Structure 1
Amino acid sequence: MAGFLLCEPTTLYNILNQETKHSRLAETNYLYLLDVRTKREYDESHIITAQRMKQGGKYVVPESMDLECVKFCIVYDGITNSLDVSIELEEKDKPDSSEDEEEGNVVMGAAIEGAKVLAEHTRHPVYILNGGYERFSASYHFFRTQKIFSMPQELDAFQTYPVEIVPGEVYLGTSRQACNPQMHKHLKVKAHVNVCLETAPFFEGDKKNFLHIKVTDSPEEDLFSHFRQATHFMDAHVNLGSVVLVFSTQGISRGCTMVLAYLMHRNKESLRRSWAHVQNCKNNIRPNRGFVQQLVNWEKVIHGAVVTDISDPHY
């Protein structure tokens, strides 16, 4: 039987916003998100793509689901924020009474009981959303919905948001996302770092909060000489409480490189460690080889020596 792990709200947010050519939510074996709250709570509002797991007083996995093939299996209730709640809940605490169903009461540990059922169908870890629906929706209210079912073409066209690199402070996105005023409002973005040649009328006149580094995505391009300016720009805005969005055309090479340079500077950490973090946030990053070498040079500036071996095929 699989074990359980807590999943932070930021992690679920980033999982929901992965994309290749289209949103990964359209992939049938990518995410299985389960809501184990009462029907009343689920109908009032739930996280996008979530299915309600509770049926007829029991937690049931649909026969059509092959959980062995699902990359992320995540379950949430209203408030669970610990794995210390006993898996074997006492009978009086189990969230299957008609009173709970009618009144919409949140039962502590419901996510754990739901995860226990899921774990019987997979060898992979089952994730429990830390803080449940209440904590997630407090940070990402724009991902609440009453929609119960989405057609594949709707998921294919789902408008992904920038991924969250530093919670509530730094995001990494695409040019399309950077020009979306609704996303700015939802994420409270106040400052931008544009790491590509193109700009847009959206940013005209915003000199104070907009840094434009005009570079192409070429291994011969010099990003290294801009690292110090960009990291100081980001530091200044983050210290003022502003949310910063770093972006390039696709956010996978130039923008990603600048975010890596910032994390290495901010946390005084190696390229290897920063890379692992950014890859967890955005799983299709691929800075070109010239930029990777420049990040190694930046690592030497920060640490006084090269720490990361980029001959590893991982980079």
Structure 2
Amino acid sequence: MAGTVLCEPTELYNILNQFSRSPRLAESNYLCLIDTRAERDYNESHVITAIKAKWDCDGRLVMPPSVEVDSVKYIIVYDGNTSSLLPSGPARECAERLEKFSRNPIRILNGGYERFSVFYPFFRTQKIIYTIKELENLRPYPVEILPGQLYMGDHEQAGNSCIIKDLKLKALVSVINNFLFLSSEDGNCAVMNICVPDSADADLYASFENLCVFVGSHLSSGSAVLIFSGHGISRCSAASMAFLVYHLKYTLKDAWDHVLQCKRNMRPNRGFVQQLSNWELQTLGRRITDVSEPNF
């Protein structure tokens, strides 16, 4: 029995936005999101893709036939506003029943629907049934590196005015091989262009300090920032780690683990990994992380 843990809103947000060739939400064994609130509340609005918890006459949880609890990677349960694992309630009761059959921890959303919907109102919906095609066509948002402050994504997300509006972005860091031209709708965003190809011999290190100063100045003024690259996998993840090392004094390993938790398919190329190791040395005064280990 894997047990039950609390899940922060930012964790659920990032789980919803994982993407490789298509949204991970289209995978049947990826996420099962369960709403345990009253049916009236669920019908009024719920988190995207959430199913309504149903109970039989004996008080047993009834799962849809398509959901195999023992093989689902993420099972997340929420009610209105649960913020602890201790008190009983519909979310806790549902999690207790599910944890007997799951290989992975059952997550209870900290703060429930009320807290999540305050942070991410654009993920509220009344839609109940999704086809595979609809799930494959869902528009992923940039992942959240620092809640409400720092995001990481790709060039398509950076050019999407709805995403910029929803995330209240005020600054963009473009780490691509050419300059970003913004539409008039997005012209209120400050932009830093770093023209670097995604190749092992490209020099991203030379831009780390200016990048960190740019991002830090906007975050300190309360502005949200998006760091993006072509596919949102290599250059932007290296830039995001450089910022975490510089401003939060993370070791490179801590920064790596944090960004990997936010975006599971992130992968800086080997040249950028070595440059990040040099950045750790310059910023923290010594090499703490061994980048020769297989994880890097």
Determine if contact 1:60/1:117 at 8 Å carries over to the other structure: no
Q: 2:258 aligns with which of 274, 277, 290?
A: 277
2:157 corresponds to 1:177: yes
Secondary structure in structure 1 of the residue aligned to 2:176: coil
Alignment partner of 1:240 out of 201, 216, 221: 221
Which residue is equivalent to 1:36? 36
TM-score scaled by length of structure 2: 0.96
Change (3 A) 1:200 1:233: closer
Where does the alignment leave 5 or more consecutive residues of structure 1 unmatched?
A: 87-108
Q: CA offset at residue 201 of structure 1?
A: 3.1
Where does residue 69 of structure 1 map in the other structure?
71
Q: Deviations over 1:166-209 (max 9, x none)?
A: 00110001000000000011000000000002334326895981
Distance in 2 between residues matched to 1:123 and 1:21, nearest whole Å: 26
Deviating beyond 6 angstroms after TM superposition, the runs of 4 or more aligned structure 1 residues are none
Q: Is 2:97 the partner of 1:117?
A: yes
Q: Check whether the contact 1:192–1:210 (CA below 8 A) recurs between aligned residues.
A: yes
- Alignment length (residue pairs): 293
The answer to whether structure 1 residue 145 and structure 2 residue 125 are counterparts is yes
- Structure 1 contact 37–54 (Cα < 8 Å) conserved: no
Secondary structure of 1:221's counterpart equals coil
CA contact (8 A) 1:61 1:118 kept: no
State how far apart, in whole Å, the 2-side matches of 1:121 and 1:260 are: 37
Amino acid at match of 1:16: L
Larger radius of gyration: 1
**Contact 1:162–1:174 under 8 Å retained in 2:** yes
Deviations 1:13-58 (A, max 9, x none): 0000000011000000000100111110110000000000124564
Mapping 1:45-56, distance limit 5 Å: 45-56=45-56
Partner in structure 1 of residue 179 of structure 2: 199
Normalization by structure 1: what TM-score?
A: 0.90
Counterpart of 1:133 (choices 97, 103, 113) is 113
> Are the structure 2 counterparts of residues 208 and 161 from structure 1 closer, same or farther at C-alpha, using a change threshold of 3 Å?
closer
How much identity, in percent, do the aligned residues show?
48
Query: What is the CA-CA distance between 1:61 and the residue it aligns to?
Result: 2.2
- Residues 170, 223 of structure 2: 8 Å contact kept: yes
> CA separation of 1:48/1:286 partners in 2, compared to 1, >3 Å: closer, same or farther?
same
Corresponding residue of 2:230? 249
Q: Does 2:209 align with 1:228?
A: yes
The answer for the alignment partner of 1:105 in structure 2 is: none
Preserved CA contact (<8 Å) 1:38 1:54: no
Shift of residue 63 of structure 1? 4.0
Q: Work out whether 1:3 is the aligned partner of 2:3.
A: yes
Using a 3 Å threshold, how does the CA distance of structure 1 residues 10 and 207 change in structure 2: closer, same or farther?
Answer: closer
Task: Decide which of 82, 85, 94 is 1:83's aligned counterpart.
Answer: 85
